């Protein structure tokens, strides 16, 4: 009798040929180890997460946009309706803005003496080089935005990035260079973009500088905590599912996953956890850090629905390798989805969250 453990696909891949598509290559040749996990991640996204009733949240950690992944991968995913909401480090959104306002970054080398680069006025992100003036011009762009009347108040980071995206899109239009900034495309597609640590980037640093000059602009992270929880609750209560796609780890990963403990543990609302979990990371689980924490560990916190663990994939791989491949696979194997435009539904989703929380309190459970 054949063991049930021997029912997987036989390892007998065809030879790789010239002209093979990315999707065919992944399906036929990525059979084991992290190649196998990368294929499974791409198939989980494409075959389950992109169903019409699934709300897809994506988190971004690491210097992804300066490496060009905003333009090559993230913008096509957003435009195809494959990403419904985003949590990113502020650094990714700051460097994304360089491209939207017409500034240039270049391929470089990690082996150049940084003292020489400093003398030349060149800034290095590993093997990405750009002139120091890129930082100064981007800082100036943001400071001029922050002086506008519509920025003179407290707001969630989603509303803040929506406003920034509007002005970046206008600058792109003026430059005749569309589709270069992720923030501008998210603005146009109604995809809310959050950052879990607003002060931890050059954008936050420039907000702080403006406050010294009397600006009333403040990003309120507590608004983000409830808004993101309302997105997940809305996905479930509308009869659908919630998927979290994680590139990297860190604070954005936790901020996305804590939506379920916020709903269940803190607000006392009956819920089960995210349905689909897909992560690309280079972090190990055994050091105890959140970046490497597995989906099975997340079950113990209520972050992941335990019944959905088979629909959880972790690929240990550099995001700059995995993201373009996953993007190419998804775009070739799945038709575009109608955008959910969750940014436009923020008030309605928050009202729903409040109503369920009020019911919990009325029942004396809080």
Q: Is this structure's pTM higher than 0.75?
A: yes
| Residue bearing tokens 């011009």 | 137
3-34 pLDDT, tens per residue?
Answer: 989 989 999 999 999 999 999 999 999 999 99
CA 319/CA 307 separation, integer angstroms: 28
Task: Give me the architecture of the 35-359 domain, per CATH.
Answer: 3-Layer(aba) Sandwich (3.40)
Kind and range of the H or E element at 251? helix 250-257
Residue 251 reports pLDDT greater than 80: yes
Look over the chain and give the mean of its residue pLDDT values, rounded to a whole number: 95
User: Where does the pLDDT of residue 286 fall: very low under 50, low under 70, confident under 90, or very high at 90 and above?
Assistant: confident
Q: What's the pLDDT score for residue 285?
A: 83
CA separation, residue 287 to residues 238, 263, 309, 319 (Å): 38, 28, 22, 20
Q: What's the pLDDT score for residue 362?
A: 95
Mean pLDDT on 244-254: 95
Question: Domain spans of the chain?
Answer: 35-359
Q: Which of 2-16, 94-108, 309-323 ranks highest by mean pLDDT?
A: 94-108
Active site residues: 303
Q: What's the pLDDT score for residue 288?
A: 81
CB 238 within 8 A of CB 55: no
CB 157 within 8 A of CB 92: no
The DSSP string of 92-107 is: HHHHHHHHHTT---EE
CB 88 within 8 A of CB 60: yes
Residue 59 reports pLDDT greater than 80: yes
Q: What's the pLDDT score for residue 22?
A: 97
Kind and range of the H or E element at 205? helix 202-212
């Amino acid at each position: 009798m054949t063991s049930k453990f021997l029912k997987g696909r036989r390892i007998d891949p065809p030879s790789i040929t010239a002209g093979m598509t990315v999707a065919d290559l992944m399906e036929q040749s990525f059979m084991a180890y992290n190649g196998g996990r990368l294929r499974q991640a791409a198939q989980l996204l494409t075959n389950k997460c992109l169903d019409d009733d699934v709300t897809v949240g994506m988190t971004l950690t690491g210097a992804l946009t300066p490496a060009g992944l905003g333009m090559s991968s993230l913008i096509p995913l957003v435009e195809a309706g494959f990403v419904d909401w985003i949590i990113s480090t502020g650094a990714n959104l700051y460097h994304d803005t360089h491209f939207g306002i017409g500034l240039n970054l270049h391929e470089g080398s990690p082996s150049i003496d940084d003292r020489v680069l400093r003398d030349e006025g060149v800034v290095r992100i590993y093997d990405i080089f750009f002139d120091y003036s890129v930082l100064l011009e981007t800082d100036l762009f943001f400071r001029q935005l922050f002086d506008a009347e519509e920025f003179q108040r407290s707001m969630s980071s989603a509303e803040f990035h929506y406003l920034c995206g509007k002005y970046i899109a206008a600058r792109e239009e003026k430059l005749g260079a569309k589709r270069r900034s992720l923030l501008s495309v998210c603005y146009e597609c109604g995809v809310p973009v959050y950052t879990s640590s607003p002060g931890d980037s050059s954008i936050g640093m420039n907000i702080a500088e403006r406050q010294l000059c009397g600006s009333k602009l403040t990003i309120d992270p507590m608004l983000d905590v409830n808004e993101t929880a309302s997105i997940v609750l809305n996905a479930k209560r509308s009869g659908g599912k919630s998927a979290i796609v994680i590139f990297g780890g860190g604070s954005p990963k936790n901020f996305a996953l804590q939506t379920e403990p916020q709903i269940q543990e803190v607000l006392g609302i009956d819920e089960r956890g995210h349905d689909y979990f897909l992560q690309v990371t280079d972090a190990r689980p055994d050091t105890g850090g959140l970046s490497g924490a597995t989906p099975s560990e997340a079950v113990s916190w209520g972050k992941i629905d335990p019944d959905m663990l088979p629909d959880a994939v972790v690929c240990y791989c550099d995001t700059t390798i995995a993201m373009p491949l996953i993007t190419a696979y998804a775009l070739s194997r799945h038709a575009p989805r109608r955008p959910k435009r969750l940014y436009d539904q923020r008030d309605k989703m928050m009202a729903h969250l409040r109503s369920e929380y009020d019911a919990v309190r009325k029942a004396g459970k809080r």
